[in-house]
Homo-oligomer: A and B are copies of this chain.
C-alpha cells in the first residue's frame, strides 16, 4: 500500500508518519511506500524500511496536486491547512489554501478517476470549528455546521465537496471533525485555544502557565495519540456502513477547565496546579464562548472510533508520548 500524507510536517502529520514508520503498517495493511508532503520538506520518519518520497509542495498551486498523485497513492490523508487564526487574519490566503487547495486536490483525483479509474481512500481532517454558537451541551450527529470563522467555513465547504465527490465515485472519502487536540506538545502559541494545552503541559514541565478564561469553561478534547488513531481508522475502516454522510464528529472528552485542573492535581499534585496563573483575557473569553462544549458522537463511536475517557488519561498519554513516561 502507498500512503500519501499532505501536511506531513505538522504536529499530527509527523506523529502519523512516525506511527506508520514504526509499525510498517496502516491498520492491518502493510505500507510499502510513503509519500510525505508539506510546504516545507517533512522529515523522513525514523525506522521505516519502505520507500519514502519527501515533497515540498504548496497545494494552493494548481500544478501541485497532479505531482502529489503521480505515484497513485492508495490512501491520501489530507491534513494540509493554514490554521484558524491565520485564516481569519489573511482572508485570501485562507481561502486559497484551505478551500482552493482542497478543491485542486479533489479535482486532480477526479480527473484520474475519469481517465484511468483511480479511486483512492481520502481522509480529510476537518474540525469542530465548523460549529458556532448557540450550541447545545451535546452536539448530535445531525446538528448543522454554522461556523463563526473563515477557517470553519473552509473546512465545512471541504466536507461538502468530499461528500459530493465520494457520492459521484471519484474517491472514497471520509471527513473527520477533530476535537481540540490536548495536550499539544511544543512551545506555548498564540492560538486562542492554546491555553487548554498550556495549563497542563507547562506545569507538568515545572513551568508557569496563564489561564485566560474562567475555570467553568467547558470544551471538547482528544489527545494527539487519539487523533492519529482516528486518522488510521478512517483510512482503513469499511466505509460501507457509513453511507452518503461522509462527515463524522469524532469522540472526545468534554471537560471544564476546573476538571482539567483537578486531573492535573491528581497526577502531578498541588505544586503543579499552583503554577497556573489566572489572567482573564476578554478577547479569548469571547472567542471560546462560541465553541462547542461537548458532543454525542454516536455515529463515530458505533463505527469504532475511540478517544480517551477522562482528562487523567489525556495527561497520562502526554507523559508517555512526550515525556518518556517520566514526570
Contact = CB atoms under 8 A, between A and B. Distances in A.
Interface of A: 91, 132, 142-148, 150, 153, 156-157, 160-161, 163-164, 167-168, 244-245, 247
Contacts of A147: 160, 163-164
A156 B150 CA distance: 15
- Number of this chain's copies in the assembly equals 2
A70 to B, nearest CB: 23
A152 to B, nearest CB: 9
Contact of A148 (B91, B156, B161, B167): B167
A244 to B, nearest CB: 6
A228 B145 CA distance: 28
B146 A143 contact: no
Contact of A160 (B143, B156, B163): B156
Top 4 closest pairs, chain A to chain B, by CB: A153-B164, A144-B144, A157-B157, A153-B160
A251 to B, nearest CB: 18
A244 B132 CA distance: 9
B146 A244 contact: yes
Contacts of A145: 144-145, 160
A132 B145 CA distance: 15
Contacts of A142: 143-144
Contact of A146 (B146, B153, B157, B163): B163
